[in-house]
Chains A and B, each alone.
Chain A
Amino acid sequence: MRLIRILVALAIITLVPILTADAAHAELSGPCTATGRIEGKIYDAKNSKLVVIPRVGEVHWRGTVKNPDGAKRDIEGKVYLRLPRPFGQIVIGDGSWDGPSNSAANNGVYTYDLPSVLVGPKFTVFGHHAEKGVVVCTGSVDVQLAGSKWKNPAFIASLLFTVLALINVSVVLRVKGSRL
């Protein structure tokens, strides 16, 4: 029985990460471009796999779409994080735009200071741009904050709670009244 318990614990520790690991990726489809420059390093959504950025910094961003005749039209778009179901999505910073516009490009500087509990996880940042109600450009890129995940207090606390939860469920396997 002790062997079974050890095997179950090993299965949880090793198989779950192996079966659930996601490959880093970035993609951008449609007639558009999206780039960001952080501390002199340029990140292009078409050429990046996993973007590792500093926890604190400022990003010089630039995006373009095609509007050859410069006509005014209704546009809509946003940059967001998707959450697991049943939760929805979070728009990042000022990353949403809409309304009538005749411009085909935009740029700016966004300063950020993210908490240390976000060091370690990989986030996929999604974005899309729509013109006249039709999505013409979509993209996504994996982003990770630089730093050691072992300095993330939330990760350490999570591991401790996992140990406690394992001890708790080990009681479940026993018949009532049997000694631990």
Chain B
Amino acid sequence: MTRGRPIRGFFGGLLLGICIDLDLFFAGIVKLQSPVLTILPLVLCIVFLGLGIWAPIGRRHMPALAPLPSPLPRPVTWPEYTPVEDSTDPAPPEPPPPDPEGPTSSI
């Protein structure tokens, strides 16, 4: 996704090229028939179109990625005594017999 301004860069480069052309001409640096006057706006169009796409200033850097959560525990072998489907539960242990003397209390 483009986050810059390529169209504005294209026309801004063209405008800048024409202005620099006029500066160079009026300052007497280049002559009226010089090909520089034709080439410079075209070059600046392309350069600022590229810079508009790139938009190198103000680009937010991505924060460092958080470390991944700890890996899953290592798989272990299913124990053989574990009940499987259609098996019956082993009988629960019998409770201890009641004390015939009854509960005692010590004071």
Contacts and interface: CB of A to CB of B under 8 A. Distances in A.
Nearest to A172: B9
Contacts of B27: 17, 120-121, 149, 155
B33 A144 contact: no
A123 B32 CA distance: 6
B65 to A, nearest CB: 21
Interface string A94-129: 000000000000000000000001001111100000
Nearest to A165: B16
Contacts of B59: 175, 178
What DSSP secondary structure best describes chain A's contact surface?
Answer: mixed
Interface in B40-71: 40, 48, 51-52, 55-60
A83 interface: yes
A121 B33 CA distance: 12
Contact of A162 (B3, B19, B58): B19
B28 A149 contact: yes
Contact of B32 (A120, A121, A166): A121
Contacts of B9: 169, 172
Please give me the 5 A-B residue pairs with the lowest Cβ-Cβ distance, nearest first: A178-B58, A82-B33, A155-B26, A158-B22, A172-B9
